[in-house]
Chain A
């Protein structure tokens, strides 16, 4: 059962425009959410995170928004750059239990120059 879902397998955006990647989760115990970026044949690298006590966290061009009532989070990249082209994974964890990270299926972002 997929507890973290990314329903858009791919997204194409023009350079300089905003990229919005979406993620939904089902487990109401999740209280920490992360975004990772992954290039082919490499491990994912951490981008940005947010805890459930916040609804927004910003780091440079990257902003993550959390809507707990809708169990939805999104990653905004502004402005998008060709180097942002990669697969983006959403992940979530709960401090109770094993505190494992559960990942979505990923969204492949292509930024067109």
Chain B
């Protein structure tokens, strides 16, 4: 069966510090991978998606970047965090194409102080 792992679960970082959140998927090949953010009182905003190794597309301009160094690994990064980067970050995977659901990790609560 497929599983998705996302870590860490919580993170408190000072403004200006770097960020690296990691997500890995098991039990499937060539998934579409996604990073979403849920800010306080808001919905799930799509930040990045990837359809293959090294292929990253950004949905919104921001202080963050993403990378996919391996087929089932997706990394969200920042060189210098801003206060506005605080939120709940979710990684998800989905079978490419067709009518399928996305499966989410447990999320990372990031607080920038």
Q: Interface size of B by Cβ–Cβ distance < 8 Å?
A: 29
Given contacts A98-B57, A101-B34, contact A43 B107 (CB under 8 A): yes
Q: What 0/1 readout, one digit per residue, does chain B (72-113) give for beta carbons within 8 Å of chain A?
A: 000000000000000010101010111101111111010000
Which residues of the other chain, A, contact B94 by a CB distance below 8 angstroms? 99, 101
Closest to B4 in A: A43
Chain A positions near chain B (C-beta within 8 angstroms): 2, 6, 31-32, 34, 41-46, 49, 51, 89, 91, 95, 98-106
Closest to B95 in A: A99
Chain B positions near chain A (C-beta within 8 angstroms): 6, 32, 34, 36, 42-46, 49, 51, 57, 59, 88, 90, 92, 94, 96-99, 101-107, 109
Q: How far is the CA of A99 from the CA of B97 in the complex (A)?
A: 6
- Most A CB within 10 A of own CB, among B51, B88, B97: B88
